Structure 1
């Protein structure tokens, strides 16, 4: 992002992080945990006042695994499943999260998909929490999914919701141009 924080980029007057946090809350699927680098990080202000639990990740520089470990460790003990929702995917909706949750079955990892192309979010039943707590590096939960490929299924989501990931200024520009009404 050339020095910009993609999660504080604005969409319709709010940051991407706030937008995605609000969508997770609106899904009404359970407690929402948002991982943040530290209590003084600028992203904290973006979720201030929302009904969620901020979890600070002192080793966030390690990569996505540190955030997943911290987020899973912060879940209430009675949690039956977790949906990992990367906050840089602006097209995912509360309905998409509900679609994934309603498809939940014991022992099956569910991945949001566009056609046969896997994407996000990903739902992990509680039996995978131990594996998620032992992740390392910046691969996210891919090693857990790969180790249990025979127990992973795709859940179709509308359009490109499961794949739209904004990691560069060019991706942001293209996405914004595509959503701006023409004419």
Structure 2
């Protein structure tokens, strides 16, 4: 039996720096910010996907119909009740759902909803490396050896992930000597662009034009 990897799609941010709900901003005729990376996640080899939100109801950026059977089969939408306290609480909510909703996965891949340039190939590459060496605690995308999301986190890290606080992300854990992993170099720096501010949004539009 192959490994099981669940996606955790982090979409519970409060958009304080943007001033408006950034994932709902229309970027082109087809998609809003939140829908870009989500489409890539849905096209990937991930078995299941947990979408972490900050309020009930399906988000308006979702590029799929509510009655889409593929969406219903693969995805669970959960609310991070303490999202305002920081990313760690959203990550914890996603991890809990990934473990409880289905049979516990061998790993999760954390994807940030505000990184519109990530690709399906990035996600599938993380899965492929973990398949070839499941003793790894993590496999991360990265630049010059610095880990950046999306990142695969094996079940061996789940306990430590639950202990994160505030705005601490998984990157803090990747620096600990007890965890062993790989960082896969991505040559295209555009892949890691995130959209946090109005200036970021304008930069994205120029890069995507």
**What is the TM-score when the length of structure 1 is the normalising length?**
0.87
Instruction: For residue 92 of structure 1, give the secondary structure of its aligned residue in structure 2.
Output: coil
The 2-side partners of 1:107 and 1:60 are apart by 29
Match of 1:69 in 2: 92
Structure 1 residues 2 and 128 mapped into 2: Cα distance closer, same or farther (>3 Å)? closer
Instruction: For residue 48 of structure 2, give the secondary structure of its aligned residue in structure 1.
Output: coil
Deviations 1:58-99 (Å, cap 9, x if unpaired)?
A: 111011101110101011333011000011111101111001
Q: 1:93 aligns with which of 104, 109, 119?
A: 119
Runs of 4+ in structure 1 over 6 Å off: none
Q: 1:35 aligns with which of 52, 62, 79?
A: 52
Q: 2:35 aligns with which of 18, 29, 39?
A: 18
Contact 2:88 2:168 survives alignment (8 Å)? yes
Contact 2:87 2:168 survives alignment (8 Å)? yes
Instruction: For residue 172 of structure 1, give the secondary structure of its aligned residue in structure 2.
Output: helix
The 2-side partners of 1:85 and 1:46 are apart by 16
1:82 and 2:108 matched: yes
TM-superposed deviation, 1:176 = 1.1
Match of 2:11 in 1: none
Return 5+ residue gaps in structure 2 as ranges: 1-16
Bigger mean CA deviation after superposition, 158-167 or 29-38:
158-167
Bigger mean CA deviation after superposition, 150-159 or 50-59:
150-159
Structure 1 residues 45 and 126 mapped into 2: Cα distance closer, same or farther (>3 Å)? same
1:130 and 2:159 matched: yes
Bigger mean CA deviation after superposition, 62-71 or 137-146:
137-146
The 2-side partners of 1:152 and 1:65 are apart by 21
The 2-side partners of 1:66 and 1:23 are apart by 24
Contact 2:18 2:196 survives alignment (8 Å)? no
Q: 2:147 aligns with which of 100, 118, 136?
A: 118
Match of 1:44 in 2: 59
Q: 1:60 aligns with which of 71, 83, 87?
A: 83
Bigger mean CA deviation after superposition, 15-24 or 87-96:
15-24
